[in-house]
Structure formats: C-alpha cells, structure tokens
Amino acid sequence: MPKLDQISIYPIKSCSGIDLHACEVLDRGFPLDRRWLLIDKAGKFISQRTTALLGQIKISQNNDHLLVKYPDKSSLKLHLNVNSNVRQQAMIWKDKVDGLWVDQETDNWFSDVLEQQVHLIHMNEDVHRPLIKNHLPQDRSFEVSFADGYPYLLTSQASLDDLNSRLTSPVPMDRFRSNLVVSGFEAFAEDQWKKIRIGEVEFLVVKPCARCQVTTIDQKTGAASKEPLKTLATYRKQDGKVMFGMNLVALSTGSVHLNDPILIIE
C-alpha cells in the first residue's frame, strides 16, 4: 500500500537534517524547516554547492533549542525563538529576503567552522517570504521558508531504487534532502501527479525538482563525485535540467505521520 516512509526537516539550510515521526504542515513548510540561513558578508546565501562541509554540521532538537555540533568543536545552542530587532537582508537566488540576525557568538562559531565570515539569520512569524509563481492557484497566497523555491520536496523510494539499479555504487536518499519520502508506487509515477493527499493533508504537486551538484556530495563524509547526477542526466533531463523529486505546496492544514496512506487525487 502506498505510504509515507520518511519525514525530514533541515532547520539550518544546507546543514544536516532531522527525521521525525510526525509533523504539523504549515503554509511555508514544516515547523523549523529551513528557518535559519547562513549568509556571507555580501548577504548571499551559503549552501553545499560552494561549501560542502555544511552537511557535516549536525543538528538536533532539544526542547526549546537546537543543538548544533561539528567535530572537535564545542556544541552551539540555538534558541527556537530568536529575540532580535536587527534585520539583515539575504539573497536566495533572485529573491531578496529579510531575516533576524541571531548574535555575534553564533556568527563567530560558524565563521570559525567555515573559515569565512558568515552571519546566521532566522525567519520567525514576523518574517515573510511570499511565494509568487504563475502556476500556483491565484485565489490565495502562499509563502516559503529559506528553501530554494518551494515549501515541500517529495521523493519516491521506487525512483531511488530505479536510479541505484543504474549506478555502480548506490546512493542513499539523504543526497536529495527531501521532506517527504513515499513508497508503494512505480518508479517516477510522481511525474504524473497533480494533487495528492498524505494522511489528512492535501498537497498540490507543482513541478519537478531540478537537481544540482549537492546530490553528488556524500552527506556523511563531505566527499564529492560525479554521481548520481551524471547518470540521472542520461534519462531524467528536461529543458536542460536534471529532475528528481517533486516540489509541493500544502492546500490544507493538519499533520502528517509516518505510514500515513498516500492518495492520488489527480
């Protein structure tokens, strides 16, 4: 039976993720997902595309704070509620986004790890990033976190199995940094979906997700190779981009839980 196999959030964009048993579905993405962003001194966002070791920064949640760890370094506590009146502007691709500066101690910690001057900013409920796309329903508004483009990313275990059958060395799903992993479908069946329900929540399947070199980075070691992007490019290219997974927006509220059934509405 088609079901939900994995729920993941990535509180600090491009750092390690946290797997959950259940999660509330919000308009801009799961709570805490991509709500913190590292930017350079020019305000440009930093990701594994340029800084692979971000994936080695491990994140866990402990009550009212995140615990941030990096090998051979004292751990850092990030409170979930950032009390700051200082706003800093960030560039995420073509989007100009405001965020709340966390503090100097936090900047120093990340700057030391990354060996460059960086700032950490936070998106709370007062920080908004409208999601404006022509192919979204025009009768309501949407928002998004500090994610690349959309609030939710779904991948399918069958599609990964298909990819791995073509690779000399299989890759795990963490290469694709998805929020929702589903099973029980044919490989790449998700290409045809327009609207689905996971448990009690309805999602619009907006578009395929274009993949970049982050998929080639081993999330455990930080080592990079040419795969799986090289192989994906041989059979998953569309308009010059390599596709794997689908971008979603939530059309209703509620929560999702592991093993929730998946219903294809259209």
β-bridge partners, 242: 237
Q: Which domains does the chain have, with CATH numbers?
A: 3-264 (2.40.33.20)
Q: Which of 35, 37, 38, 33 is nearest to 23 (CA)?
A: 33
Say which range, 101-105, 108-112, 126-130, 229-233, has the weakest mean pLDDT. Answer: 126-130
Q: How much is the pLDDT for 85?
A: 86
Q: What is the average pLDDT value for the chain, to the nearest integer?
A: 95
Distance CA 7, CA 127 (A): 25
Distance CA 107, CA 122 (A): 12
Q: How much is the pLDDT for 137?
A: 85
Residue 150 to residues 31, 71, 115, 178: CA-CA distances in angstroms? 14, 31, 30, 11
Beta carbons within 10 angstroms of residue 203's beta carbon: 24
Q: Give yes or no for residue 133 having a pLDDT over 90.
A: no
- Residues 32-53 have pLDDT tens digits of 999 999 999 999 999 999 889 9
Q: How much is the pLDDT for 69?
A: 97
- Residues 223-255 have pLDDT tens digits of 999 999 999 999 999 999 999 999 999 999 999
What is the number of helices (H) and of strands (E) in the chain?
3, 18
Q: Is the peptide bond before 228 cis (omega within 30 degrees of 0)?
A: yes
pLDDT band at 84 (very low <50, low <70, confident <90, very high): confident
Give 243's Cβ-side CA count (13 Å radius): 14
Beta carbons within 10 angstroms of residue 109's beta carbon: 22
Q: How much is the pLDDT for 134?
A: 76
- Residues 154-198 have pLDDT tens digits of 999 999 999 999 999 999 999 999 999 999 999 999 999 999 999
Looking at the chain, the whole-number percentage of residues with pLDDT higher than 90 is 86
Q: How much is the pLDDT for 135?
A: 78
Q: How much is the pLDDT for 94?
A: 87
Between 85 and 77, whose confidence is greater? 77
Looking at the chain, the whole-number percentage of residues with pLDDT higher than 70 is 100
Distance CA 253, CA 20 (A): 18
Distance CA 145, CA 35 (A): 6
- Residues 95-105 have pLDDT tens digits of 899 999 999 99
